Amino acid sequence: MTLQSEIFEQPERLAYLLHSQRETVEKIAAAIRQSDIHYVFLAARGTSDNAGRYANYLWGAQNQLPLALATPSLFTYYNRPPKLDGALVVGVSQSGQSPDIVSVIEEGRRQGCLTLSITNEPDSPLARAADLVLDIQAGDEKAVAATKTYTTELLAIAMLSAALADDKTHWRELGKVSGWAERVLKQDVPISHLTERYRFMRQCVVLGRGFNYCTAFEWALKLKELTYTVAEPYSSADFQHGPIAMVEGGFPVLAVAPRGKVFDSMQEMLGRLRGDQLAELVIISDDKGALSLAQSPIQLPDGIPEWLTPIVSIIPAQLFAYHLTRAKGINPEKPRTIGKVTETY
């Protein structure tokens, strides 16, 4: 099993998760409704932290649940955890092994909070520490760079949102995700060709906004850990508050800009970057106008609801990072320094 094969496994894994875990998700949603939950307190690291960014937008927008991202060092090194009254305490971790994430769940239970683990390892320390467990059903992930565990984490978060809202339309839309994922994978060869243009890239910025703020961070992470590119993720709004000054002619800007509530602001920014700064643009979008601005356009399937675009839009970004790694002559199966499971305290 290779990184590329795991990327291509995602449609199957997404379909299986939706089928196998819907009943579990609805039971978890019922338990949450029965508790006096005022907000979500979520702990994660690395790729799972980016899944948490998705939950921040999704559960806030569709379920009116404010979300706070935990600072695990308060629970470990400082031993001064905050009061968590009224919180649903969530730990998100593919391996479920990291002691600092486990410590947040354990403290949540000690304070009498309802706790939930979202993990690919239902027998892990994280799962054993939580009241509720949502197994993301990704199967064994051998590659160091997380791909299918990320998209299944996103889908698990989206499923819980649909269950909490008791929204049949959302469940129908979720049923189309694996098909959209399969369609976008058909761009594997064109993406492999366009990455040749960036084989000497040493730095770039990655832009996203709204639901796809998480996609900017995850795309940047994949570029860092696989290609060793200094890739800095930004909200397109934050980017205007200073960082845009670094862009000059030919500077690479990678952007995720599907149609939705924030699309107009993203397109305005991309037009400015192409017109005024003469930036080198790689754009993932389902809009022809946005794609026309890019030297390297990557088409998303039409018809994806904005709230589900992060699950699909990260897949061409994964392919881009994979093929760029190979174009640079780096082994994508053995990125330097890092390993599959990282335990932090």
Nearest one of 259, 263, 342 to 304, comparing CA atoms: 259
Q: How far apart are CA 222 and CA 256, in angstroms?
A: 14
Which one from 142, 186, 261, 340 is the annotated catalytic residue? 340
Domains of the chain: 3-174 (3.40.50.10490), 179-327 (3.40.50.10490)
Q: How far apart are CA 104 and CA 89, in angstroms?
A: 8
Q: How far apart are CA 121 and CA 137, in angstroms?
A: 9
Largest distance between two CA atoms of the chain: 56
On the question of pLDDT at 340 being above 60, the answer is: no
User: 219: which residues sit within 8 A by CB, 6+ positions away?
Assistant: 206, 208, 231, 233, 254, 256, 314, 317, 320, 321
Q: Residue 77: its pLDDT value, please?
A: 93
User: 242: which residues sit within 8 A by CB, 6+ positions away?
Assistant: none
On the question of pLDDT at 54 being above 80, the answer is: yes
The stretch 56-82 carries a mean pLDDT of 96
Mean pLDDT check: name the lowest of 30-34, 291-295, 306-310, 335-339. Answer: 335-339
Instruction: Answer whether 222's CB lies under 8 Å from 145's CB.
Output: yes
Q: How far apart are CA 251 and CA 273, in angstroms?
A: 10
Q: How far apart are CA 345 and CA 340, in angstroms?
A: 17
Instruction: Answer whether 260's CB lies under 8 Å from 287's CB.
Output: no
The stretch 3-29 carries a mean pLDDT of 98
On the question of pLDDT at 69 being above 60, the answer is: yes
Q: Residue 124: its pLDDT value, please?
A: 97
Nearest one of 97, 92, 13 to 311, comparing CA atoms: 13
Say whether 343 sits in a helix, a strand or coil.
coil
The stretch 310-320 carries a mean pLDDT of 98
Q: Residue 236: its pLDDT value, please?
A: 92
Q: Residue 338: its pLDDT value, please?
A: 67
Residue 318, burial from CB neighbour count under 10 angstroms (0-12, 13-18, 19+): buried
168 is catalytic: no
Q: Residue 341: its pLDDT value, please?
A: 62
- Tell me the pLDDT band of 162, cut-offs 50, 70 and 90: very high
- DSSP letters spanning 158-176: HHHHHHHHT-HHHHHHHTT
Q: Residue 335: its pLDDT value, please?
A: 86
Please give the angle made by the CA atoms of 136, 137 and 142, to the nearest 5 degrees.
105
Higher-pLDDT residue of 101 and 335 is 101
Q: Residue 153: its pLDDT value, please?
A: 98
The stretch 130-159 carries a mean pLDDT of 96
Q: Is the dihedral of CA 137, 143, 146, 147 positive or negative?
A: negative
Q: Residue 56: its pLDDT value, please?
A: 98
